Amino acid sequence: MDFQNSLAFAKELDANDPLARYRDEFLYPQVNGKDVIYFTGNSLGLQPKRTKKYVDDVMKDWHELAVEGHFYAEKPWWDYHERLATDLAKVVGAKEKEISVMNTLTVNLHLLMVSFYRPEGKRIKILCEEKAFPSDQYMLQSQARFHGLDPNEVLVEVKKRKGEHFWRTEDILDKINEVGEELALVLMGGVNYYNGQVLDMKTITKAGKEVGAFVGWDLAHGVGNIALELHDWDVDFAAWCSYKYMNSGPGNASGIYVHEHYLGKKDIPRFEGWWGTKKETRFLMQPEFDPIETADAWQLSNPPILSIAPYLASLELFDEVGMEALIDKQKRIVAYLEFILGEIDKQVESTFEIITPKDRGCQLSVFLHGEGRSLFDYLMKNGVITDWREPNVIRLAPAPFYCSYTDMYNFGQILKEGILNK
Ligand SMILES: *Cc1c(COP(=O)(O)O)cnc(C)c1O
């Protein structure tokens, strides 16, 4: 499609956008009396309007039913989390029984590593990307030390090539084959938080498993953003947070996926608690753990209902729209943003370098050569919420649920003013 950098053109795209009406499902911060242009859905998604009712319902049930709410609330609390698994399974391409919702992301990755990182003999190594998200680095280092190993010997980082801003699949595969029999686990971010790159998870998973390693994915930036087929890709495990593209609220509950191959097993190492044992016998308070035949076996505690209620509200929206329609709009809106950046680039002296490769989801990371943090401050003051990373990289993530084509056009104009008026 031939794009135009004009308000009329952007408005026409909005008029033809089947998801345009979902903008009204969300609440926007205001700057100068106007809704902001929100590019940080990759960090904290906006609040869906319907979320409040879900939380209010739980508060009301707690008031009116108290302990009876576990069984007699309209959505009983004792299996409330299972409602989330149904919709999440569609979002990540898994079977319902392969999904659970619990804890938070880093906690869950640690718990999953109890099962899937079992260093033995010379098979001790973990493959990850260089400069992985800091929490993941701390997690991997501390896991190595927990097993009495030296993180420097355990962690194998795949580097980008000199002068390039992205990872090449062939370099990842070469590294997997090079480490070979010493590789215990591949654990990487499926969508990189910094450059927005989507890794070829299917190919990498296959290669990792072929050398006998377990393969897991941190999908913090992947879930609700890109097409995932975790089950068909034969991924062993994955975890994600729900507050980025999933719009479930700050620090909210994490989701996990465990391949059905590992379900219903008593002999897999795992940290266990009463919410992972079979429902039928749970309240008999027996001493022996009998794992539920779903990923809930990894669940330790009874879930915080007030926290997962917003997640359910958000998942309802995902279910209504479907990932296919979201991804369809995402591709268009990101392409339009890329076009706008190109047009503005021609009109100013600084140069924009998009460091996100073509394998991408919602995010464009842009190196603003010749600019500084003051540009970021200008954007914020003028109602454009972005994320700034040293050196001079802004991350722009126009989430298809609540960003419009007009937002992209207006952003271009504000960006141009910010650069020309400095
Ligand atoms: C956002 C993010 C996290 C956050 O972890 P929490 O445990 O939710 O604080 C972890 N890993 C990656 C790759 C992320 O992008």
Secondary-structure class of domain 53-321 per CATH: alpha beta
Q: Which atom of ligand 1 is nearest to the CA of 105?
A: 7
Q: Do domains 7-35+323-420 and 53-321 have the same CATH topology?
A: no
- Residue 243, marked binder: yes
Within 13 Å and on the Cβ side, how many CA atoms surround 125?
21
- Residue 261, marked binder: no
pLDDT score of 422: 76
pLDDT classification of 33: cutoffs 50, 70, 90: very high
pLDDT score of 194: 95
- Residue 78, marked binder: no
Within 13 Å and on the Cβ side, how many CA atoms surround 95?
17
pTM: 0.97
- Residue 284, marked binder: no
CA 367 to chain centre: 23
Mean pLDDT in residue range 265-294: 92
CA torsion sign for 96, 101, 105, 106 is negative
CA 173 to chain centre: 23
Torsion of CA 230, 232, 236, 241, to 10 degrees: 10
pLDDT classification of 133: cutoffs 50, 70, 90: very high
Tokens 């000199």 found at = 162
What residue spans define the domains of the chain?
7-35+323-420, 53-321
pLDDT classification of 371: cutoffs 50, 70, 90: confident
pLDDT classification of 390: cutoffs 50, 70, 90: confident
pLDDT score of 196: 97
pLDDT classification of 287: cutoffs 50, 70, 90: confident
CA distances for 269 relative to 20, 129, 332, angstroms: 47, 26, 45
CA distances for 394 relative to 1, 37, 365, 389, angstroms: 26, 14, 6, 6
Across 273-285, b (16+ Cβ under 10 Å) vs e yields: eebbbbeeebeee
pLDDT classification of 227: cutoffs 50, 70, 90: very high
Tens-digit pLDDT profile for residues 150-208: 999 999 999 999 999 999 999 999 999 999 999 999 999 999 999 999 999 999 999 99
CA of 220 to the centre of ligand 1 (A): 6
User: Per the structure block, which two tokens stand in for 326?
Assistant: 């979201």
- CATH number for the region 7-35+323-420 comes to 3.90.1150.10
CA of 319 to the centre of ligand 1 (A): 24
Q: Which atom of ligand 1 is nearest to the CA of 193?
A: 15
Going by their DSSP bridges, the two strands 254-258 and 237-240 should be labelled as: antiparallel
370 touches 349 (CB < 8 A): yes
pLDDT of 235 > 80? The answer is yes
pLDDT classification of 362: cutoffs 50, 70, 90: very high
> What is the Cα–Cα distance from 392 to 56, expressed in whole angstroms?
42
CA distances for 411 relative to 37, 344, 370, 378, 385, angstroms: 7, 10, 19, 12, 10
Ligand 1 pocket at CB < 6 A: 104-106, 133, 135-136, 189, 193, 218, 220-221, 241
Name the closest-CA residue to atom 14, ligand 1: 220
CA of 372 to the centre of ligand 1 (A): 27
